[in-house]
Amino acid sequence: MAAPFTRVLLASEHGEHDAGAEALAFALATHCALPLAAVLPVRSNPELEASAPQLAARLDAEAARARSGLEAAARAAGVTLALQVRHGPEPYAEIVAEARATAAELVVVRRRGRRGVLANLLMGEMVSQVVAHAPCSVLVVPRGARMWQNGVLAGVDPRAPDPAAVLQAAALAAQCGVPLVVLCVAEGAAAAAAEAVLAEMLAGARARHGATRGMVRAGRVHQVLIDVAREQGCDLLVVGRHGGASLARAWIGGTAQKVIGLAECPVLVHVPARPGDHP
């Protein structure tokens, strides 16, 4: 079976919080025999650096150390890494730009950096912006996570189902030889509609991966997704990013951000390809 992705981009600053994303990206490249690109974003302010050359020199030295460390980690994992260092005022913008430049199909990134007041609920601001603006799917990885081995859970919003996200989840489950669970979360009186949506999603998923089962649950969407992933032993959660850029940003600020911030496993946000996304 063909790999679900052929062009993967690891986004890392090679800090302590990037360890899970790096390990998972290396494992994915090895398991699927893929080349791995990487981007190391460096926040820069040309005006400040021009007036403070010592600061500029320190930032350059830190970036060089991070680059050397990331390349060494890839070599230790037996992975050939094509690494780019990109400077700019907004690290997320450099990651998104590199995803476009490399025609990436998947960006792998950490969940958060330094802990803040809302660290237990929200992913880091940079990561939130990457997920909102990326031209491709984004895999958000907690610090201690590793590549999935037990099962994949695809979450479906019955009000705006994303069949492509479910098919991507099925391809990932099939590639790794693990079961797929398709979950529709219905709120209020939407259970009947959810059952119909689930039947449609299951038909497509089972055509790609026979080891698929489905369920409808009621409750708060983000909590149900997290609870079912834990209950079913799934160690990858897949959700869709609906709509255009403004809607995507609003959605990321709600249910999806809570899922990504609270899930114990990696969360893959499926982003449909759009014309003009890649050169």
Residue 1 in any domain: the answer is no
pLDDT over 80 at 221, yes or no = yes
Domain final residue, candidates 112, 141, 170: 141
Residue 277 in any domain: the answer is no
134 shares its domain with 184: no
Q: How many domains does the chain have?
A: 2
Mean pLDDT to the nearest integer, 10-35: 94
**Residue 22 pLDDT class (50, 70, 90 cuts):** very high
Q: Can you give the pLDDT at residue 219?
A: 87
CATH of the domain at 245: 3.40.50.620
Q: Can you give the pLDDT at residue 4?
A: 83
| Distance in Å from the first CA to the final CA of the chain | 27
134 shares its domain with 162: no
Q: Can you give the pLDDT at residue 144?
A: 87
Burial of 190 (0-12, 13-18, 19+ CB in 10 A): middle
Of the two residues 123 and 90, the one the predictor is more confident about is: 90
Give the count of alpha carbons within 13 A of 175, CB side only: 20
Residue 99 in any domain: the answer is yes
Q: Can you give the pLDDT at residue 53?
A: 77
116 shares its domain with 241: no
Q: Enter the pTM of the model.
A: 0.89
- Taking a C-beta distance cutoff of 8 angstroms, is the pair 16, 111 a contact? no
**At 141, is the secondary structure helix, strand, or coil?**
strand
Residue-wise pLDDT tens digits, 67-95: 999 999 999 999 999 999 999 989 999 99
pLDDT over 60 at 114, yes or no = no
Beta bridge partners of 72: none
Q: Which of 38, 43, 110 is nearest to 74 (CA)?
A: 38
134 shares its domain with 13: yes
- Taking a C-beta distance cutoff of 8 angstroms, is the pair 223, 235 a contact? no
β-strands 137-141, 267-270 pairing: antiparallel
Q: Can you give the pLDDT at residue 148?
A: 94
**Residue 250 pLDDT class (50, 70, 90 cuts):** very low
CB atoms within 10 A of CB 150: 13
Residue-wise pLDDT tens digits, 154-180: 999 888 888 999 999 999 999 999 999
52 shares its domain with 124: yes
User: Highest mean pLDDT range out of 13-27, 40-54, 101-115?
Assistant: 13-27
Q: Can you give the pLDDT at residue 49?
A: 67
- Taking a C-beta distance cutoff of 8 angstroms, is the pair 157, 221 a contact? yes
**Domain housing 116:** 8-141
